[in-house]
Amino acid sequence: MKNRTLSALLLSKTSPLQLWIALIGSGIGLLILMLGMQLWIDVRSLMQEKELLRGDYLVISKKVNLLHTLGGAPTFDQGEIAALNDLKSVDDVGAFLPSKFKASMELSASIAGFSGQLMKTDLFFEAVPNRFLDVSTQEWQWKPGMKTVPVVVPAEFIKQYNHGFASGQNMPVIPENMLKSIQFYLEVSGNGKTAQFRGSIAGFSNRIQAILVPNSFMEYANTTFADGAAPRPGRLILHADNPASPELLQFLQTKDYELNQEKMKAGQSQLLLELLLMLVVTLGLFIIGLAMLGFLQYNQLLAYRSAYEIQTLHWLGFSLQKIIRPYQLFILRNLGISLTIACLLFALLQWLIDRAFSNSGFELPHMGWPGALLSGLITTLVMLWLGNRSIKKQVGRLAN
Amino acid sequence: MNLIHFYKAIPEPMADTPTQGSIWRQNLVLFKGKHYVISATSGKGKTTLLNMVCGIRKDYRGDVFFDETNLRTLNDGAFAELRSKDISCLFQDLRLFPDLTAMENICLSPITAINEADILAMARKMGVQEHLQKPCRKLSLGQQQRIALIRSLSRPFQWLLLDEPFSHLDEFNAKLAMDLILETAERQQAGIIATALGHSGLFNDFQWLEL
């Protein structure tokens, strides 16, 4: 009875219209925040599935111009490599070690027997540090004295051969695992020496568009079949957290380096999407901020209108805690209402969005809703804390 | 709380005003169980003195003690507790809630010492029993003063502070009120500090103090 009289007395000067505006405002703010959070988490998980967010490997080289036709392709020196390594968005830099010797590949008639012709072609090798390679097998090793040299071939080559060259030249289509079992001969020469090796395909790389041999073989062959001086890399491979980072882009542009454009586009669209969602979340927070301000002022005004009652109750011996409690319950109830409004609208919109997506044959991963609810709950708790703090101060001021 | 001790106390706004009475800037002890009336013309600080005792005003020089406790050492919560259990006040401006009924006003207390039947008995003695269910804003000032008095008497107290308790009452009703005050204070063995504008026969049993 006493508590009821107390809260009726203190909360008698509410104005329902103002209150509902504040509640609906904070409900909508919470809703936008929750939707933004959910989409952000969903998009991230979707992109992570597609390996778009795990950082990316970029291969860069210097542009070749007319002057280079005489002096050879431009290369990178240690200073330039170190400058790239210093960039925040770059985790790791590796050099493509080029071969300085001549090499040719020969497929014996019995192996190439489909057409009965002997296949022989000149080629060149490159080597990159193993940590940059997306092929990892036990065969990928070579020590001096070993007669078989493992080779990694771009996966794209096989696709081009099977889907383009083979049909045009009336040649058989070869599956990847069959190619792995084919052995061929490698002839390496230079510096007045020639050596024969057996070659075997250790794997196919989606990442690196070059025919790769192990570093150890490259070093051995460059020493044995060339003058031994370490060749300067013409291409570099980088691992970047975010290949579309403005810092990296600007650096590459200033230095006039060339890079794989496709990956940049994917990175940029991801960045754009993330920015957009961040904007949505920020907008939600902004609206919540405004609603919170309105809500705090509403509570303060409510207490202010009851200044006489607050002071009299305190003078009659009611402690500040007892006087504040009805306000605290009032704030808790109102925030509960606004969170409920937000959750109901959130569920409704979720259903509508799902229906729209499934009509167009696309399914969202639904990873984000616990995060979204949590963000709504945390924001409500923060608002509760702020509301309690402000009403405590206001009542304390009015009571004395 | 057997005694209230004023030691060279003077309200801040009066600090530069010369005083002659027996309280301001004096060493005065008031004892529980005794009845005091502070008489002075308007603006001499009668209300301020009561407000100092119940912790509503703290802007004074000198010291005020409850037994050995200096009031300056008590915080807001401690004063609220004192006002809920040990000190009961009848405010000059009555401090009723106009939208609550007279009964609700009387019952709205952190601690109620007496039951509804006792409240009814007091209301009957004071001639306001038929007004108990009316909102206070509909009562006359005299009726409101009697309701406020019943509220202050229906709570536990060791000290009863009455700020011009009969300002809106005629002599007959003032006499009824005084009888009830003395009877209740006697029962609780409480001290009374009342204020009055001038001398009145109602306070014959009180010790007179000039401000």
Closest CA to A207 of A311, A133, A279, A147: A133
Quick one: pLDDT at residue B43?
A: 86
Nearest Cα of chain A lies from the Cα of B20 at a distance, in angstroms, of 30
Q: CB pairs under 8 A, 24+ apart, for A107-111?
A: A107/A182, A107/A184, A107/A185, A108/A184, A108/A185, A111/A182, A111/A183, A111/A184
Average pLDDT over every residue of A354-378 = 80
Q: What percent of chain B has pLDDT over 90?
A: 85
Quick one: pLDDT at residue B141?
A: 96
Q: Is the pLDDT score of A113 beyond 60?
A: no
Average pLDDT over every residue of A106-128 = 69
Contact in structure between A225 and A177 (CB atoms under 8 Å): no
Contact in structure between A215 and A97 (CB atoms under 8 Å): yes
DSSP 8-state assignment for residue A230: P
Query: Position A309: which residue type?
Result: E
Quick one: pLDDT at residue A115?
A: 52
A82: part of which helix (H) or strand (E)?
helix A78-85
What tens digit of pLDDT does each residue of A216-255 get?
898 888 888 887 677 888 888 888 877 777 788 888 888 8
Nearest Cα of chain B lies from the Cα of A335 at a distance, in angstroms, of 29
Quick one: pLDDT at residue A155?
A: 83
Give the residue from A211, A239, A260 where a domain finishes. A260
Chain B residues whose beta carbon lies within 8 Å of the beta carbon of residue A5 = 100, 104, 107-108
Choosing among 3.40.50.300, 3.50.50.60, 3.30.1650.10, 3.90.1010.10, the CATH entry for B3-210 is 3.40.50.300
How many other C-beta atoms lie within 10 A of the C-beta of residue A92? 15
Sign of torsion, CA B53 B55 B61 B63?
A: positive
Chain A residues whose beta carbon lies within 8 Å of the beta carbon of residue B89 = 315-316
Mean pLDDT rounded to a whole number for chain A: 83
Same domain, A68 and A44: no
Interchain contact, B85 vs A317, CB within 8 Å: yes
Q: Determine how β-strand B3-11 pairs with β-strand B60-66.
A: antiparallel
Q: Is the pLDDT score of A55 beyond 70?
A: no
Mean pLDDT rounded to a whole number for chain B: 94
Count the domains in chain A.
2
Average pLDDT over every residue of B132-144 = 97
Chain A residues whose beta carbon lies within 8 Å of the beta carbon of residue B81 = 317, 319
Q: Is the pLDDT score of A284 beyond 90?
A: no
The torsion angles phi and psi of B53, rounded to 5 degrees, stand at -65, -40
The span from the CA of A176 to the CA of A201, in Å, is 10
Quick one: pLDDT at residue A137?
A: 72
Q: Is the pLDDT score of B151 beyond 50?
A: yes
> Which has the higher per-residue pLDDT, A314 or A199?
A314
How much helix, strand and coil, in percent to the nearest 5, is found in chain A? 55, 15, 30
Quick one: pLDDT at residue B199?
A: 82
B110 to chain A: nearest residue by CA? Answer: A318
Quick one: pLDDT at residue B31?
A: 96
Range of the domain at A309: 2-51+268-399
Average pLDDT over every residue of A299-325 = 94
Quick one: pLDDT at residue B81?
A: 94
Same domain, A210 and A294: no
Give the residue from A226, A260, A294 where a domain finishes. A260
Ranking A74-78, A243-247, B81-85, B174-178 by mean pLDDT, the lowest is: A243-247
Chain B residues whose beta carbon lies within 8 Å of the beta carbon of residue A319 = 77, 80-81, 84, 110
Which residue in A5, A9, A319 is closest to B80 by CB distance?
A319
Predicted confidence band of residue B186 (pLDDT cuts 50, 70, 90): very high
Residues of chain A contacting B, Cβ within 8 Å: 1-2, 5-6, 9, 12, 309, 312-320, 322, 396, 399-400
B78 touching A, CB under 8 A? no
Quick one: pLDDT at residue B159?
A: 97
Interchain contact, B107 vs A2, CB within 8 Å: yes
ipTM over 0.85: yes
Interchain contact, B110 vs A319, CB within 8 Å: yes
What tens digit of pLDDT does each residue of A138-186 get?
788 898 888 889 999 888 888 887 887 777 777 777 777 777 777 788 8
Same domain, A291 and A247: no
> Which has the higher per-residue pLDDT, A163 or A70?
A163
Which residue in A9, A314, A315 is closest to B97 by CB distance?
A9
Q: Is the pLDDT score of A118 beyond 90?
A: no
Predicted confidence band of residue A340 (pLDDT cuts 50, 70, 90): very high
How far lies A321's CA from each of A258, B76, B86, B201, in Å? 69, 11, 19, 43
**Taking the C-alpha atoms of A241, A244, A250 and A254 in order, what is their torsion angle to the nearest 10 degrees?**
90
Tell me how far the alpha carbon of residue B67 is from its chain's centroid.
Answer: 19
Interchain contact, B110 vs A1, CB within 8 Å: no
Give the residue from A215, A241, A260 where a domain finishes. A260
Same domain, A161 and A255: yes
Contact in structure between A45 and A369 (CB atoms under 8 Å): no
Interchain contact, B80 vs A314, CB within 8 Å: yes
Which residue in B97, B99, B110 is closest to A317 by CB distance?
B110
Predicted confidence band of residue B79 (pLDDT cuts 50, 70, 90): very high
How far lies A94's CA from each of A150, A204, B91, in Å? 20, 19, 86
Quick one: pLDDT at residue A48?
A: 64
The span from the CA of A162 to the CA of A173, in Å, is 5
Which residue in A5, A12, A399 is closest to B108 by CB distance?
A5
Tokens describing residue B196: 């009055």
Quick one: pLDDT at residue A291?
A: 81
> Which has the higher per-residue pLDDT, B114 or A297?
A297
Average pLDDT over every residue of B90-117 = 91
The span from the CA of A83 to the CA of A239, in Å, is 14
The predicted model scores a pTM of 0.66
How far lies A311's CA from each of A6, A302, A315, B4, in Å? 13, 14, 6, 25
Quick one: pLDDT at residue A317?
A: 95
B84 to chain A: nearest residue by CA? Answer: A317
Tell me how far the alpha carbon of residue B144 is from its chain's centroid.
Answer: 15
Domain coordinates in residue numbering, chain B: 3-210
Ranking A102-116, A325-339, B125-139 by mean pLDDT, the lowest is: A102-116
Same domain, A128 and A9: no
Closest CA to A316 of A76, A57, A5: A5
Closest CA to A187 of A279, A256, A102, A249: A102
The span from the CA of A278 to the CA of B148, in Å, is 60
First to last CA, chain A: 26
What tens digit of pLDDT does each residue of B59-73 get?
999 999 999 999 999
Quick one: pLDDT at residue A363?
A: 67
> Which has the higher per-residue pLDDT, A328 or A16?
A328
Contact in structure between B185 and B206 (CB atoms under 8 Å): no
Same domain, A237 and A272: no
Average pLDDT over every residue of A202-219 = 87
Predicted confidence band of residue A53 (pLDDT cuts 50, 70, 90): very low
Q: Is the pLDDT score of A353 beyond 90?
A: no
Quick one: pLDDT at residue A398?
A: 95
Give the sheet arrangement for strand A56-62, strand by strand. A90-95, A235-240, A56-62, A257-259
Q: Is the pLDDT score of A112 beyond 60?
A: no
Chain A residues whose beta carbon lies within 8 Å of the beta carbon of residue B110 = 316-319, 322
